[in-house]
């Protein structure tokens, strides 16, 4: 990767920051071999979200939706965290407060070792009954019933514990994310097209609160012109390098 320049005023933010937030999307897992949703080769280029990721799709054809998530679960389970996931774990010790907010459901941040994660769009690791809300391990549920969603003791059906289009995010998770974004002084947006709301609104919240906002994405996003530093490089290269710079600033001043 071409080295990127970090201006002095950004280094000053690295030294002074007390509350940092990282906000991630599918691009952070791309170098682990997982598909993004949008852009060349993205999942939504070859599949229709309204047939796979909505409550209506699940009602119309639960087996189809279940099998697609079973495939995604299997792919995610076979993937390994990459250097971007691993570098973000180090942010926990770099700042007095650090919160990692992700739109990803693949579990790779947690597997890398990140703690206190806010998963805005839920998780692919668990299934929950659409009727009574009971939760269970998705891998076990798929092993037991690979073709159709298993039936819960209450008579409802298990579905992946993710947020679908047309559904609300967990209000507690969203409001914690919004509070963190609105009160941080350093905000890293990485690997997201920044087009899906309310998640993408966190970037604007941080910017309005006066945080130093950094974007890591090989492609521009609707927020690229608003951020304080844009790094047009893959996360697996840029985030470790950025992390080293922050470590240098904070340990040596
Ligand atoms: P998208 O697929 O919309 O965007 C992925 C972004 O990652 C794009 O902007 C790419 O340019 C960028 N990218 C690709 N490779 C990268 C790399 N190696 N390093 C850094 N960036 C890279 O994914 P999200 O923004 O996460 O929601 O999408 C948001 C939501 O839309 C998802 O949570 C999902 C989806 O539909 C639901 O399913 C509800």
Verify that 26 and 117 share a domain, yes or no.
yes
State how many domains the chain has: 2
Whether residue 121 lies in the annotated active site: yes
Instruction: Compute the average pLDDT of residues 149-169.
Output: 97
- Domain end, chosen from 107, 142, 162, is at 162
* Mean pLDDT estimate for the chain: 96
Instruction: Compute the average pLDDT of residues 86-108.
Output: 98
CATH code, domain carrying 128 = 3.30.1600.10
- pLDDT of 243 higher than 80: yes
Verify that 136 and 103 share a domain, yes or no.
no
Verify that 189 and 246 share a domain, yes or no.
yes
pLDDT in tens, 18-30: 999 999 999 999 9
Q: Which two tokens stand for residue 158?
A: 């298990």
Cα–ligand 1 centroid distance for 27 (angstroms):
5
Verify that 103 and 219 share a domain, yes or no.
yes
Verify that 133 and 182 share a domain, yes or no.
no
pLDDT in tens, 214-225: 999 999 999 999
Cα–ligand 1 centroid distance for 131 (angstroms):
30
Ligand 1 pocket, residue 177 CB under 6 Å: no
- Domain end, chosen from 162, 192, 225, is at 162
- pLDDT of 139 higher than 70: yes
Verify that 117 and 129 share a domain, yes or no.
no
Q: Which two tokens stand for residue 32?
A: 């682990």
Q: What pLDDT was estimated at residue 2? A: 52
Instruction: Compute the average pLDDT of residues 9-34.
Output: 98
Instruction: Compute the average pLDDT of residues 107-133.
Output: 97
Nearest to 177 by CA among 201, 146, 153, 152: 201
Whose tokens are 């390098």? That residue is 241
Q: What pLDDT was estimated at residue 57? A: 97
pTM summary value? 0.97
Domain of 61 in residue numbering reads as: 42-78+124-162
CATH code, domain carrying 219 = 3.40.50.1220
- pLDDT of 147 higher than 70: yes
User: CB neighbours of 231 closer than 8 A, spacing ≥ 6?
Assistant: 4, 214, 215, 216, 217, 238, 242
Residue to mutate (ligand 1; options 44, 197, 217, 232; most atoms within 8 A of CB): 217
Verify that 109 and 190 share a domain, yes or no.
yes
Triad 22, 194, 173: Cα angle to 5°: 55
């Amino acid at each position: 990767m071409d080295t990127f320049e970090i201006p002095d005023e950004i280094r000053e933010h690295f030294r002074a920051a007390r509350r940092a937030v990282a906000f991630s999307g599918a691009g952070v897992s791309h170098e682990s071999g997982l598909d993004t949703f949008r852009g060349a080769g993205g999942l939504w280029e070859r599949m229709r979200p309204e047939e796979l990721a909505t409550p209506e799709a699940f009602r119309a054809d639960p087996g189809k939706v279940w099998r697609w998530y079973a495939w995604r679960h299997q792919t995610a389970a076979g993937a390994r965290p990459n250097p971007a996931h691993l570098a973000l774990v180090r942010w926990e010790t770099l700042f007095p407060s650090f919160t990692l907010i992700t739109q990803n459901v693949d579990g790779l941040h947690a597997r890398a070792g990140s703690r206190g994660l806010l998963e805005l769009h839920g998780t692919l690791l668990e299934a929950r009954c659409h009727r009574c809300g009971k939760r269970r391990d998705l891998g076990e549920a798929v092993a037991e019933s690979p073709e159709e969603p298993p039936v819960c003791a209450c008579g409802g059906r298990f579905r992946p514990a993710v947020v679908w289009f047309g559904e609300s995010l967990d209000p507690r998770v969203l409001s914690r994310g919004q509070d963190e974004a609105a009160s941080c002084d350093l905000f890293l947006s990485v690997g997201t097209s920044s087009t899906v709301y309310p998640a993408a609104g966190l970037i604007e919240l941080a910017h309005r609160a006066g945080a130093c906002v950094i974007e890591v994405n090989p492609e521009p996003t609707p927020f690229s012109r608003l951020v304080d530093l844009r790094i047009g490089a893959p996360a697996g290269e840029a985030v470790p390098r950025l992390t080293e710079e922050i470590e240098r600033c904070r340990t040596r001043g």
